[in-house]
Structure 1
Amino acid sequence: MSKESEEELQDELEVTQEEEITRDEAEAEAEAEAVENEFDFLQEELIALKDKYARVHADFDNIKKRLEREKYTAVEYSNEKFAKDMIPVLDALNMAITSSESVTDPVEHFEKLKEGMELTLKQFTTSLEKHGVTMVSHDEPFDPNIHNAVQTVDSEEVESGQIVQTFQTGYKYKNRPLREAMVIVAN
């Protein structure tokens, strides 16, 4: 091979190498640009997700505060229905007092007071039952959870361990005792 051919080959080789380097540089730049674009996209997505997280967290806090307020309101006004049902009982007591002032005959006065008290007691008991407060039945067998045996007596009429007499009526709220019934139990 001649020197000129070698030089031409050498020049072509150098041109090819320069083209390859240029092509490699272009590919590297394109790849770097793609990575940079992906990085920018991921940064934007991260910012959007942080914003979304902050909003969801704020919404959660608002809901939590609202539920807390509603809970306190519900507890504060939980006896409202009960109080409304007690107002007619108060009205009945006031009417009994007012009506008794106009009666002059003592026997009639006593009868009217007794009748008014019985009606008021019935109304009061009905209102309590409406809200889950019931009397401990006098016929129930002795139960230490709802009865308080204050005395024991010998009795031929009632079996041992059974209630003979009730001193004070007991009351339950649903299934929980509010006040135990004070009773006498047979030996």
Structure 2
Amino acid sequence: MSENKEELNEEIEQNEEVQEETTTEEVVEESASENKELSAEEKIAQLEAQVKEAEDKYFRVHADFENIKKRLEKEKYNAIDYASEKFAKDLLSPIDTLEMALAAEEASADLPAEELLAKLKEGVELTIKNFYTAFEKHDISIVETDGEFDPNFHNAIMQVDSEDKNAGEIVQVMQKGYMFKDRLLRPSMVSIAN
């Protein structure tokens, strides 16, 4: 019987140890799950803060982008609207020259016709010179009409017989053509030899 008692005591002790281990494991598991819940809540709060921060950054960047887009669009329309401003300013000089020629004509009404005509001619020549100066500033050039006819730059309006020109060569320029940089503004109106 004492053996049974000892065995029973041993069994009880083992059961108590197992229960203590189980209880300890349960306590550890409970505290770990509480830590997990707390850390999960903390993580959620942290992630929500990050999302809010990213959302704020997005809205700021989007607003900046929209402002830049509007400013660039406004600048583009201003550039289009005022693209000819420099050219227009350069055309003011020829207009002034023409107005001075007319004023000189009125002031010198008592001059002989030959002198008046000479002054008017001088004014017109000066005006043309001012136009060519303005054209040169803005890369506008006269289409060359020396040599062969080129349908890309010349418009033949008639053919004439010519002893000193070969067939297909330009004989006479009726109206000058103009180029803007490498683009044709207007072809030259020419007559060509048969």
Q: Is 118-127 or 149-158 further displaced after alignment?
A: 149-158
- Of 110, 117, 142, 2:117 maps to 110
In structure 1, what is the equivalent of residue 193 of structure 2? Answer: 186
CA positional deviation for 1:19? 1.2
TM-score normalised by length of structure 2: 0.89
One-letter code aligned to 2:187 = E
CA positional deviation for 1:2? 3.8
1:95 maps to 2:109: no
Q: Distance in 1 between matches of 2:185 and 2:117?
A: 33
Unmatched 5+ stretches in structure 2 = 1-5
- Of 36, 39, 57, 2:41 maps to 36
Q: Distance in 2 between matches of 1:85 and 1:110?
A: 27
- Of 4, 7, 12, 2:17 maps to 12
1:155 maps to 2:159: no
Q: Distance in 1 between matches of 2:178 and 2:56?
A: 57
For residues 59-84 of structure 1, give each alpha carbon's deviation from its aligned partner in whole angstroms, at most 9, with x where no partner exists: 11110110000011111111111111
For residues 108-153 of structure 1, give each alpha carbon's deviation from its aligned partner in whole angstroms, at most 9, with x where no partner exists: 1111111111111111121122112211123153111110011122
1:143 maps to 2:180: no
Q: Distance in 1 between matches of 2:140 and 2:129?
A: 14
1:23 maps to 2:28: yes
In structure 2, what is the equivalent of residue 83 of structure 1? Answer: 88
Q: Distance in 2 between matches of 1:6 and 1:73?
A: 97
Q: Distance in 2 between matches of 1:153 and 1:94?
A: 40
Relative distance call for 1:109 and 1:52 in structure 2 (3 A) is same
In structure 1, what is the equivalent of residue 56 of structure 2? Answer: 51
- Of 157, 172, 180, 1:173 maps to 180
CA positional deviation for 1:13? 2.1
Partner SS, residue 127 of structure 1: helix
Greater Cα radius of gyration, structure 1 or 2: 2
Q: Distance in 2 between matches of 1:78 and 1:140?
A: 35
TM-score normalised by length of structure 1: 0.92
The alignment of Structure 1 onto Structure 2 pairs a total of residues equal to 187
Q: Is 65-74 or 173-182 further displaced after alignment?
A: 173-182
Q: Distance in 2 between matches of 1:35 and 1:141?
A: 88
One-letter code aligned to 2:160 = V
Q: Give the ranges of 4+ consecutive aligned residues of structure 1 lying more than 4 Å apart after TM superposition.
A: none
